[in-house]
Chains A and B, each alone.
Chain A
Amino acid sequence: MPQHIEAQYQEILNEYVKKQTEQNLYVGQNFSRQLILENISPEEVISMHKAAIGELYSDLPDVVWHSFDFLIEMMINYGLALQERQSLLKRQEELKVEMDLAANVQETLLKTKLPSLDGLDIGLLSIPAKKMNGDYIYFVSDYDGYAGVAVADVIGKGLPAALCMSMIKFGMDSLNSSHALPKDVLGVINRIVEKSVDDSMFVSMFYANYDAGAARLTYGSAGHEPAILYRAGSGEFSELEAKGLLLGVSPAAVYEEHSVILEKGDMVIMMTDGVTEGRTEEGFIERDVIYKLIEQKKTEPAQAIVQHVYDELERMQNAELQDDFTLVVYKKG
């Protein structure tokens, strides 16, 4: 224990014992902060206290000195708990840095490029509820008039989910074609995921392929939230249903595919359950609410529409997202 600290403590204590003002206590409080900064343990503080009292009032009865010794013994475990806490905090800080790095790697690894096709306006928004995003969007486009998009939700969180996404990306890259049919894409990725992940991790995925020349969208779903089709002509909304099992449950799963022709102003809205499973104090956010939000901005660019839906749903849920939120809009210009 540094001597100047002992001297300072004795002085502050002496002032307090003589005057007992709030000012003295405030000085003491500030001093205790300094003690913590200098890693002075609780047992050392008591020992310092005992020494200081000994110098100021040497004629106190023995029972007082014994009681201080007892208190020192009592404080040893508190001192250890404090040291352990400091070491755990440091460890936590290290883990946080590692998590940040991992999140960055994930972001770089999973980066995708928005296709640019004549006559197709694409809007995309993906907001993670926590640091690591469990939703995954991947576009496939080789500038020949096709734009494929995968919207996936990995059930299971954190690092394992991030690793699983890399597998999806690998699967899509191995097909290496924006012409690939949804049932083939889903079949390939199902086999990859089924082989590689444990029993409690699954992926739901919607895959759509847009042929700009024919204005045809071909889609399939592996246990994913149905996409929404908006018809500008009639102003009606409907769901794009497609049967198919979650990826990673059974290697024997087969996937359907269907197609629709888009007219001018038509939209296909793809999303994850973070959009549809939103809850407010009054209950679940129904699909009609989402339809209404899209309708309000139907004449605006696709990006403005996804932003509007997100802003409004976030507002309804008091800015507390429960789940990762992903929304993709394909709008025919």
Chain B
Amino acid sequence: MSDQSSVEILTEWDIVAARQLGRNVAKELGFGTVDQARITTAISELARNIYLYAGQGRIEIQQLAENGMKGILIIAADSGPGIPDVRKVMEDGFTTSGGLGAGLPGVKRLMDDFKIETIQGEGTDIRATKWLR
């Protein structure tokens, strides 16, 4: 069972809309203040990456219910240039050293599960899940 909604990312203000959507869903699912903050920070990072590197894309938020567990799934999808070296951007110190924020390793830390698929010239699809404990 899943329930979904999404935000198109075109301008910097859309990042705020994506955060708001994520917060509403997280709150509704019963996540505490700290986890809400983590989930929205992860959404922010992903939306900002779309805005900065792909130009446009979409953040989708889904409610998950599996094996009696509830969770939230963030999907960040774009048809931008793709990431040439995924291993490198997933390395600690790669994005943060340039002052670019938490980066993808940060998103991975904030969430329980993280998957990335990227094809050069076609785009990137990132899925990050957090389960309610």
Give the B-binding residues of A (Cβ under 8 A).
Answer: 43-44, 47, 50, 69, 72-73, 76-77, 80-81, 83-84, 87-88, 91
Given A84-B105, A88-B92, is A76 in contact with B41 using a C-beta cutoff of 8 Å? yes
Instruction: Please report the C-alpha to C-alpha distance between residue A127 and residue B37 in the assembled complex, in whole angstroms.
Output: 54
Chain B's nearest CB lies how many Å from the CB of A99? 18
Given A76-B110, A77-B101, is A84 in contact with B96 using a C-beta cutoff of 8 Å? yes
Instruction: Please report the C-alpha to C-alpha distance between residue A88 and residue B97 in the assembled complex, in whole angstroms.
Output: 12
Instruction: Please report the C-alpha to C-alpha distance between residue A81 and residue B109 in the assembled complex, in whole angstroms.
Output: 11
Q: Are B32 and A80 in contact (CB under 8 A)?
A: no
Given A69-B33, A84-B92, is A76 in contact with B38 using a C-beta cutoff of 8 Å? yes
Give the A-binding residues of B (Cβ under 8 A).
Answer: 32-34, 37-38, 40-41, 92-93, 96, 101-102, 105-106, 109-110
Question: Which of B33, B93, B109 has its CB near the most chain A CB atoms (within 10 A)?
Answer: B33
Q: Are B92 and A76 in contact (CB under 8 A)?
A: no
Q: Are B92 and A72 in contact (CB under 8 A)?
A: no
Q: Are B101 and A43 in contact (CB under 8 A)?
A: no
Q: Are A44 and B34 in contact (CB under 8 A)?
A: yes
Q: Are A83 and B33 in contact (CB under 8 A)?
A: no
Shortest 9 CB-CB distances between A and B: which pairs?
A: A80-B106, A76-B41, A47-B34, A80-B102, A73-B37, A84-B92, A72-B37, A43-B34, A87-B92
Complex interface: chain B residues within 8 A of A77 (CB)? 41, 101-102, 106
Q: Are A72 and B34 in contact (CB under 8 A)?
A: yes
Chain B's nearest CB lies how many Å from the CB of A92? 10
